[in-house]
Structure 1
């Protein structure tokens, strides 16, 4: 904790100026020397660790059949009236150019241009309206190389089929061309995240500015959080960029998008907590510098503790195996911690330099004798009074209300379907829809099955007998090594739950068939479906590991800060209950309002870490005020005054934090949309149920026992 008595010279004019200049120079120098975080994003084609079974299998396939393994970009040529001779000419010309001038990371293209018409017809659908051509790219190609390859393929298609073929709306007559498959989907997904960053930054800035104007009606004050967040964001972005370039840190565009929202939400909250207390002190002190010292003394420790709690919680994600969680840890924890440092140094210096003028046109006057000077607002006093005097019904009804929302949890459906998380008008998804309608859904990303030893032909027959399989073909074989690479085309969308559910039976059938006759055989299963299945199992493992770590870390910090064994227990219990309610209500919103059949499988863990950390954020502020007043009075009066003093500012902060996370719902990416909705709901529950009612009521019920074993 910070020292309880600041030095007499603390926050003098010279001291304030030095802090402001130091932060501005630090931000400017870091931005000039190091790259921004957005310049160092590593957007990989897969987010599965190398140790996962699908990646071990993929490495084994690359080793055994380097020319036949890779990430396919599937070129889909479609004509509603049937592929004409002119269309075939364009298709052959495109393939000829790709074979003569390979694009980045290209390894193989079938020689369709050199085949006779009868053989080339094998690439067409049975109705003759679609032709699909796979362009194989290196399996170890980075996301940047995939981006470059697809951009070069796009240029080839524009030269050979015409720009209009790539731009026609679905249903229009003429030739339509799409680039889909795992490579096309990965590239489109990356572009979605990259193009969303600027729009998200602008929208969040305008939202915070508007909410601050409505809440405080001061144009000057409304700019304080924006300037503070801007300083923190510049510093954090530069530090992350430097760490990524020189220290090997990795993060992707999704991390940068959420980091923007997190800094705006947390930063604005921290600013509000200090501003609200400073405004109160201005009515009690004639000199703004005295008000600044008094306000700082009562808020700095809580802000720093709050930032530390959130940072440590997010740092627990380092224990996750999934890169989609693991890579969040350092950027988010560093961002929040720097934002907390800005809030307890730069913000007081800036506000102190502005003095009373910061609140123009509603300037708080020095009114030490006014009965209103020491009193919170009427509604705030009513909240505190009701939470204490009606503590038993408030605690019971609040708990039951949250528990009722949790009843939807058993009905939550999760999915790891990558395609469903993207807009339906995304080119690669449109291409998949055409491919699935005229061929087989599984043609988008066949399952690779590597058979070592045994009878490959028997394995093919065994796999083909499965109801989930459309067809099986032998792609390559090495008789000397007794190895064969099979491609299994499923009847279902390869990113769907049904496809993942089919993998165990495919592996068993391959082993059974290959081992027939007493032959020893080993089978490896790779491909997009296998990677999705690994993502599902690793996410379940990460949830089992990270959740108790987050709870233990927050509980320990609360124990140290509050010096109580009892309080951390019920604070954690209420926030976990709030999380369950947020997930239940979030699922209802996803299903009934957004009309989406399932929630992305990573959302529950994402939401848990953020909601538990940010929820305890508010608990720390209200409990620190209750503890402060408790030293001078009894438990119930301390709870009543603590709630009244913090009600207005936490409500304002909660609305802004919920609003900033809700901005994620404006993005055309389902995982961010759903995360934004669930997190915003959780923040609102903490703001309007847990913090003003449930926590105070439980504290009042427990009385002195809430502080056990602390006595002072």
Structure 2
């Protein structure tokens, strides 16, 4: 191959390799200077539900008609084992008076406990007199950082009045007064704090893990650094572009999406780099000219890398069809980062390999046999034996015993997939927090001393059109309701009546969420019995439980659209690349099977290993998009090798060599990708822990079962039909055709 052939000379030629590196440096520096980093444009309180959702409409009605209850509540839980003293209660009253006269940041209102007589306030204590809940309301538009400032100011006022800091006292300390902030405000602050503290530690842990794995697998410090450099440049380019887009209001990014984007970049990005590097190393054992070897590597791997990258980008962009904000916000950051990463793997990585040459693999430098002989002569050592290519035992097994291999993998994957039907889901963000987080500790105390429903009551509002209803009595008769407040009249429309409803169970639980339709039906029936028509537009339910129910419904809607579109998109790309309906069908089928197997294995680990009762409801869709897209990467890389080799050898031999040739690089790539996702399991946030475990499990199943065993076994069994409707001409027949043409 000549240096001028292909695009190799444009990115990795004698001079162009330095130009390529310089271009990446200039782009990274310029963008970093002129545009803000994506981390500086985080918005962690973005609305996940659209204005058309019932809970959002209800919140608007509540804000307009019941301004007294307006605002996001922070519930300050005061606890003193053995009972709160009169002095402590009076200090709490004094605190509410100071807050009323000198509000903290973003405070909207406070229940004026100081206006109540001491004995009346004692009546609001828990049954054993140890606990009091003090509501404090904040601006609904405030973000978590502003809420945090308000709570920090509250803590300072508390210190000034009490002479000590109850927020620093352990919740189970029987000798002193303790205080905790829970409710929506406390949960928001803790969630933001957990995600923000995870960013730096996640980045460091991911980089260290990738470096260690590369060093252990390839034992070359230079090779280990090349993917890190490429990923680093991709991140430095991606971050300001996303920051600019967020600055313009085109997209919204939050801490969670940035955290997962970092993992995705290092995991998938390193994979793309290794696809190129491994092909380069293989060719160097046979080609003495490093330039020719590199250009051959570029030609041989660029198609598979580009196809893999486009597959992942297309799958991630499908998230733009999502209505749920958290899904929708993932689409652009994830797809853009992967797009820039595979561009870097096709340009920057070849340039770096051209700069380092064979030294990229030092100290285990790949050389041809002649080069090894010459090197031995110079050192006065005997000539080494010709390098033997080790035959892949996996490749040999899948072509000699394909039925056995297929049966075993089907049983293993199918058995794991069966456990996916046992998964239980939750939309309770609080349960994903560590147990020692303030909001979770406060919630636990409320549940023990009062009713859990007090943490987040639902507000049921109806438009009575001036008629009398018995809705209060109907609500009180429901077996899942512990308390119904007195009727409240609307500020602008007196016909709108509201009742605060407290559940007798965790208002964030799936069980409470499933009661929302029944609450609505109860209110509609009360209106119908009062002779009011069109009742469906006369009922609104506000509150966290109603919001979570809408999140569940919206998530199910998104899954019903995104999953088929992702499968259809990847199917189309595979058809264009492989030009085989049969191969496309079984590649898609195997990855979908491994997805359900990953859910089953993840559930076994999370439920039986870690003791979790349920997984976060958003995880299956997240995992599907990642696993189906990333799983096809490995299939594409291996199948492309088989497709190329079958042009010059019998199909079974092509399968055997294709599996062997791609085995080591896909295994190392899979370990690195799984390892980067597994890093999420070290974080204190259960939603990321669970996502990391399931995704890592899926990658490992793809790496060690689907790619090396199942896919080549199916290809072997199908034989020439694997290429249908394309025509497969055996090598022997090709030789006869050439002979006939020459006669």
The verdict on a shared fold, with TM-score over 0.5 as the criterion, is: yes
CA contact (8 A) 1:376 1:644 kept: no
Q: In structure 2, how many angstroms separate the alpha carbons of the residues matched to 1:75 and 1:699?
A: 63
Cα pair distance change 1:373/1:47, threshold 3 Å:
farther
Q: Which position in structure 1 is the counterpart of 2:482?
A: 470
Q: Specify the SS of the correspondent of 2:684.
A: coil
CA contact (8 A) 1:68 1:476 kept: no
- 1:523-672 paired onto structure 2 within 5 Å: 523-672=539-688
Q: In structure 2, how many angstroms separate the alpha carbons of the residues matched to 1:55 and 1:7?
A: 53
**Structure 2 residues without counterparts, runs of 5 or longer:** 373-383, 729-743
- 1:48-67 paired onto structure 2 within 5 Å: 48-67=49-68
Shift of 1:369: 9.2
Q: Which position in structure 2 is the counterpart of 1:6?
A: 6
Cα pair distance change 1:8/1:647, threshold 3 Å:
closer
- 1:333-482 paired onto structure 2 within 5 Å: 333-367=335-369, 376-378=389-391, 381-453=392-464, 458-474=470-486, 476-478=488-490, 481-482=494-495
- What are the superposed Cα offsets for residues 276-322 of structure 1, whole Å, 9 maximum, x if unpaired? 11111212222221211111111111111111100100111111111
Q: In structure 2, how many angstroms separate the alpha carbons of the residues matched to 1:519 and 1:358?
A: 79
Q: In structure 1, how many angstroms separate the alpha carbons of the residues matched to 2:137 and 2:468?
A: 24
CA contact (8 A) 1:456 1:484 kept: no
Cα pair distance change 1:477/1:540, threshold 3 Å:
same
Q: Specify the SS of the correspondent of 1:489.
A: strand
Larger radius of gyration: 2
Shift of 1:97: 1.8
Moved more, 482-491 or 336-345: 482-491
Q: What TM-score do the two structures reach when normalised by structure 1?
A: 0.96
**Structure 1 residues without counterparts, runs of 5 or longer:** none
Q: In structure 2, how many angstroms separate the alpha carbons of the residues matched to 1:235 and 1:180?
A: 39
Shift of 1:374: 8.2
Q: In structure 1, how many angstroms separate the alpha carbons of the residues matched to 2:159 and 2:353?
A: 57
Moved more, 141-150 or 555-564: 141-150
- What are the superposed Cα offsets for residues 181-203 of structure 1, whole Å, 9 maximum, x if unpaired? 11110111111001001111111
CA contact (8 A) 2:512 2:545 kept: yes
Q: Which position in structure 2 is the counterpart of 1:115?
A: 116
- What are the superposed Cα offsets for residues 368-407 of structure 1, whole Å, 9 maximum, x if unpaired? 69999886534xx211111111112212221222111111
Q: Which position in structure 2 is the counterpart of 1:185?
A: 187
Q: In structure 2, how many angstroms separate the alpha carbons of the residues matched to 1:700 and 1:192?
A: 49
Shift of 1:476: 3.2
Shift of 1:15: 0.5
Q: CA RMSD in A?
A: 2.1
In the alignment, does 2:241 pair up with 1:239?
yes
Cα pair distance change 1:488/1:373, threshold 3 Å:
farther
Q: Which position in structure 2 is the counterpart of 1:695?
A: 711
Q: Specify the SS of the correspondent of 1:466.
A: coil
Q: What TM-score do the two structures reach when normalised by structure 2?
A: 0.92
Shift of 1:64: 1.6
Shift of 1:145: 3.5
Q: In structure 2, how many angstroms separate the alpha carbons of the residues matched to 1:114 and 1:36?
A: 49
Shift of 1:163: 5.2
Q: Which position in structure 1 is the counterpart of 2:727?
A: 711
Q: Which position in structure 1 is the counterpart of 2:78?
A: 77
Q: In structure 2, how many angstroms separate the alpha carbons of the residues matched to 1:276 and 1:611?
A: 23
Q: Which position in structure 2 is the counterpart of 1:89?
A: 90
- What are the superposed Cα offsets for residues 382-435 of structure 1, whole Å, 9 maximum, x if unpaired? 111111111122122212221111111221111112211111111011011111
Q: Specify the SS of the correspondent of 2:248.
A: helix
CA contact (8 A) 1:416 1:601 kept: yes
CA contact (8 A) 2:43 2:253 kept: yes
